[in-house]
Structure 1
Amino acid sequence: MSDYILQMMGITKSFPGVKALQDVTLAVARGEVHAVCGENGAGKSTLMKVLSGVYPHGTYDGEILLDSEPVSFRDIKDSERSGIVIIHQELALSPYLSVAENIFLGNERAARGFINWNETNVRAAELLRRVGLDLNPVTPAGDIGVGKQQLVEIAKALSKDVKLLILDEPTAALNDEDSQHLLGLVRGLREDGITCIIISHKLNEIRAIADSVTILRDGQTIETLSLQEDSVTEERIIKGMVGRELTNRYPDRTPDIGEEVLRVEDWTVHHPREHARTVIHNAHLTVRAGEIVGIAGLMGAGRTELAMSIFGRSYGSNISGKLYKNGREITARTVQEAIRHGIAYATEDRKRYGLNLIEDIKRNISASALTKLATRGWVDGGRETVVAQDYKSSMNIKAPSVAAVTGKLSGGNQQKVVLSKWMFADPDVLILDEPTRGIDVGAKYEIYTIINKLAAQGKAVVVISSELPELLGICDRIYTLAQGRITAEVPIAEATPERLMQYMTQEKE
């Protein structure tokens, strides 16, 4: 038997107007963790969908060998029967079903048409213990955090006698602690003889966990590197991904900071359903024209809740406190009022809240400011197209045209559409929540450049990020948030990861 559990040879896959994969090769050794890297749109997820049967045999050219035998999968069930299981970046759990029901959904423990609930829950508990979760299997999946949901997905994969596990951006939405736990689990699976393919933009994690890495660029295989060799650095991987040296991950910037634009005073927010529970406690913050202000905090600290409550009270209940814009108190009780006052919020969940994925690029860009294109109540389609084409060009959105469906774009290009939408609205204050989540290092640099341009135009920019190096690389000041309280305001010249983490883990007084 070959040392390779998987060989993909000459894989070519096309969509209308674009060739996603062109003669791609991939060879994965038995029992290894094999990383697949590349910029957004390089073809990583498409290749894994070909492998797992999401794109069935006949819709692509090339050959797949599993255990040295040719395979041709008709659908995802077909690939699972061969021991290939994929966990997509967008988790597929039903929030209303129990953890046990989710684990065995489509793979029920049943006899004579009846589900054996005792066996289902007992077996689910065993799988949960295997992935390190101390969790009651009858708990609704919607009641647990994203990190635990990711582990439930792995437990679900293990219930299917997996021998090749594909993880697509498994730590993209996780904090550092949950990420380390998941990577430790992957190491354990390798020791159990399960081969893993991991797609990730976090190069430090790839170097820590993977045995080898295949780099894709523009739908083609560039090279496969052994990470057992000390000479393979993050910079070496980046060069393969972007086709050039990227010596500085953050663009140079000389701040030109003006007067205060937004001030938040005594801002208190309660939970939208549990009204007695305080989520944000007496928050104070300011941001000035031309300034980039960061908000750092662990998952659950209240970063997104704070931002959404400021943006037209789109989160929370019993909100108290004051907002000042250019020194004058304002009220922004709805999203429409916030936009009228020049406040914009780019959500961390662009797929769910930031974009209409079934609409085209043009409609998404114009959505936040249709009145700018309207005459007598009718949107001028010609002007709308011109505006969208201008942003497509200036933001380097990679798509055949502005008529391309937004849901078909890569994550980095979707994020550029989100930013284009709010740039078209021309706000004075732009709150960016995890603006580079799930985006490769090359696209991140482009996003940072756009943020710098916004600041240079005199916009007041607030960046929320779970990546401390990102905040340290682009911000002028950083607020830390812990348990719903702002614990410190740190000038960038005094900010270090250790100091920020100290404030981010500060206990309630």
Structure 2
Amino acid sequence: MEIRMDHIHKAFGQNKVLEGVDIHIRGGEVHALMGENGAGKSTLMNILTGLHKKDQGTITMDGVEKTFDNPKQAEEFGIAFIHQELNIWPEMTVLDNLFINKEPITSFGLIQTQKMKAVAKKQFDRLSISIPLHKEAGKCSVGEQQMIEIAKALMTDAKVIIMDEPTAALTDREIQKLFDVIRSLKESGVSIVYISHRMEEIFTICDTITVMRDGRTVDTTPIPETNFNDVVKKMVGRELTDRFPERNSNPGETILEVKGLTRKGVFENVSFQVREGEIVGVSGLMGAGRTEIMRTIFGLDGKYEGNILVAGKNVTVKNPNQAVELGLGFITEDRKEEGLILDFSIKDNIVLPSLFSFTKNGMIKDKQEEEFVELLIKRLTIKTESAMTSAKNLSGGNQQKVVIAKWIGIGPKVLILDEPTRGVDVGAKREIYQLMNELTDRGVAIIMVSSELPEVLGMSDRVIVIHEGRVSGEVIGKEATQEKIMTLATGGQINE
């Protein structure tokens, strides 16, 4: 299927989101759509699939003008959209999520469960997914949920598949498997619109790239005719001299130490320490236990064995309130479900963990609160018309900045960042990295869990690698390589 979107305009109230965007998606090509957070990429695709109505412009499919009233019509026509924010029903099983509103039924109106299982198994085998079909989807990791969404889209036999940050929560192995599937789909004539901020992926899997900036199309170029620096300049309107800012690490005293931390069946005998002003990267394959360890330290997942020491003092962390009182902050990997209250304003989300610092005799000091919020919005360059804008109306990257802002606001001693740049554009990533440097310069200790090895290597002073719930090794930042980390992540040993 060939799709043309010409001179597309869209405004939400006074906010002009798209101002004359053009994109041409050819049959059987992988077309990258790139731009900073808030550039209008997702809005453009939501117009294509009928979630939003365009204000101006034309959409043609195989030369015929066409619009949809809703996403279901688009899907029935052969256009599937895998959204960045996952559409999972947590209380339902994996199998039920795959077939929701599409269950095959007999002539007597009975659901054909065995047929569903057979179709699901075939698709899971294709993607090398090993998630039990009877498992509650809400108990799956974010990465597993992402693979469920990808499998669900592929089951529709779509002619065009839109993938919005499809690899954000996937391991390298899963990414390579997804790429194999994309190549297979391409060979069969399926078009892929690939929205991603991971440059390496764009240059590996895509044929053509369209860059958007501030609601406009900047350029469309065949991948062989462009390069990393050229794309970045088009996206942000300026050159980024270095992908990762230079770090001048000068660690102080140990501020956090865990000894023999254990949750039976999840992780076991985990020990490490973090010093003031240090960034410790935590790497490992999906399911290794990285996030579970951090959630336990922050008091999110109940009882544990072993010891947690803050500033040399043995503490028991039973809940997040205690963690915050001890000076710990935690930026979750799942900003939609755990990081934000989407119906709340930006201001209310930012001040939530530090609300008591703005109260006196039970009264909120509005002026101080407003100044505090405006300072953080400006410092993190959160794109919004007002601090009162609802968090749900922000792009994914700007939502992530709000989550970071709220935890910076408590003045943490230790800040745990779980996938801090997931779904964030290259310009905003550098801003977050620079902010991490500023925090460590002020003595804040940072633990950074990341699935992006270039990020781990580019920002960490030390790297702790987790394999099957245990610390498999530690590498000094300057000595760390992708090969060393992957060796430890897969249960191997490195010879120093």
TM-score of Structure 1 vs Structure 2, range by shorter chain: over 0.9
Match of 1:291 in 2: 278
* Matches of 1:449 and 1:425, distance apart in 2: 19
The 8 Å contact of residues 143 and 286 in structure 2, kept in 1 or not, is answered as: no
Match of 1:88 in 2: 83
* Matches of 2:489 and 2:347, distance apart in 1: 40
Deviations 1:167-212 (A, max 9, x none): 1111111111111111111111111111111111111111111111
* Matches of 1:505 and 1:307, distance apart in 2: 20
Please tell me whether residue 440 in structure 1 is matched to residue 440 in structure 2.
no
Please tell me whether residue 102 in structure 1 is matched to residue 97 in structure 2.
yes
CA gap 1:135/1:173 in 2 versus in 1, 3 angstroms: closer
* Matches of 2:267 and 2:106, distance apart in 1: 50
Match of 1:384 in 2: 369
Match of 2:56 in 1: 61
The correspondence of residues 268-307 of structure 1 with structure 2, limited to 5 A, is 268-270=262-264, 277=265, 279-307=266-294
CA shift for structure 1 position 446: 0.4
The correspondence of residues 240-279 of structure 1 with structure 2, limited to 5 A, is 240-270=234-264, 277=265, 279=266
Partner amino acid, structure 2, of 1:351: K
Match of 1:217 in 2: 213
Please tell me whether residue 32 in structure 1 is matched to residue 32 in structure 2.
no
* Matches of 1:98 and 1:428, distance apart in 2: 40
CA gap 1:197/1:364 in 2 versus in 1, 3 angstroms: same
The 8 Å contact of residues 85 and 336 in structure 2, kept in 1 or not, is answered as: no
Percent of residue pairs bearing the same amino acid type: 41
Q: Which moved more, 1:95-104 or 1:6-15?
A: 95-104
CA gap 1:373/1:80 in 2 versus in 1, 3 angstroms: same
Deviations 1:70-101 (A, max 9, x none): 11211112222322111111222334444454
Cα root mean square deviation, aligned: 2.2
* Matches of 1:25 and 1:256, distance apart in 2: 49
Q: Which moved more, 1:236-245 or 1:449-458?
A: 236-245
Match of 1:236 in 2: 230
Please tell me whether residue 192 in structure 1 is matched to residue 188 in structure 2.
yes
CA gap 1:357/1:145 in 2 versus in 1, 3 angstroms: closer
Partner residue of 1:453 out of 438, 444, 447: 438
The 8 Å contact of residues 142 and 334 in structure 2, kept in 1 or not, is answered as: no
* Matches of 1:248 and 1:158, distance apart in 2: 37
Partner amino acid, structure 2, of 1:295: V
CA shift for structure 1 position 115: 4.0
Deviations 1:22-49 (A, max 9, x none): 1000001111111111111111111000
Match of 1:417 in 2: 402
CA shift for structure 1 position 421: 0.9
> Residue 40 of structure 1: SS of its match in structure 2?
coil
Match of 2:149 in 1: 153
TM-score by length of 1: 0.91
CA gap 1:72/1:430 in 2 versus in 1, 3 angstroms: same
* Matches of 1:152 and 1:347, distance apart in 2: 21
Partner residue of 1:361 out of 346, 350, 353: 346
> Residue 86 of structure 2: SS of its match in structure 1?
coil
Please tell me whether residue 309 in structure 1 is matched to residue 304 in structure 2.
no
> Residue 2 of structure 2: SS of its match in structure 1?
strand
* Matches of 2:337 and 2:281, distance apart in 1: 24
Deviations 1:395-433 (A, max 9, x none): 211110111111211222222211211121111111111
CA gap 1:139/1:358 in 2 versus in 1, 3 angstroms: closer
CA shift for structure 1 position 364: 0.8
Match of 1:174 in 2: 170
> Residue 474 of structure 2: SS of its match in structure 1?
strand
Q: Which moved more, 1:181-190 or 1:91-100?
A: 91-100
* Matches of 2:160 and 2:421, distance apart in 1: 29
* Matches of 1:261 and 1:124, distance apart in 2: 48
CA shift for structure 1 position 337: 1.5
Match of 1:274 in 2: none
CA gap 1:176/1:402 in 2 versus in 1, 3 angstroms: same
CA gap 1:463/1:159 in 2 versus in 1, 3 angstroms: closer
Deviations 1:277-306 (A, max 9, x none): 2x2222221111211111111111111111
Please tell me whether residue 326 in structure 1 is matched to residue 323 in structure 2.
no
The 8 Å contact of residues 343 and 430 in structure 1, kept in 2 or not, is answered as: yes
* Matches of 2:24 and 2:227, distance apart in 1: 21
Structure 1: gaps (5+ residues)? 271-276
The 8 Å contact of residues 305 and 316 in structure 1, kept in 2 or not, is answered as: no
* Matches of 2:123 and 2:443, distance apart in 1: 53
The 8 Å contact of residues 147 and 178 in structure 1, kept in 2 or not, is answered as: no
CA gap 1:21/1:329 in 2 versus in 1, 3 angstroms: same
The 8 Å contact of residues 239 and 245 in structure 1, kept in 2 or not, is answered as: yes
CA shift for structure 1 position 354: 1.1
Match of 1:273 in 2: none
CA shift for structure 1 position 251: 1.0
Partner amino acid, structure 2, of 1:216: M
Match of 2:3 in 1: 6
CA shift for structure 1 position 103: 3.4
Deviations 1:47-75 (A, max 9, x none): 0000000113xx52211001111112111
> Residue 81 of structure 2: SS of its match in structure 1?
strand
Partner amino acid, structure 2, of 1:486: V
Partner amino acid, structure 2, of 1:163: K
* Matches of 1:338 and 1:137, distance apart in 2: 36
The 8 Å contact of residues 482 and 507 in structure 1, kept in 2 or not, is answered as: no
The 8 Å contact of residues 33 and 209 in structure 1, kept in 2 or not, is answered as: yes
CA gap 1:443/1:425 in 2 versus in 1, 3 angstroms: same
* Matches of 2:358 and 2:167, distance apart in 1: 40
TM-score by length of 2: 0.93
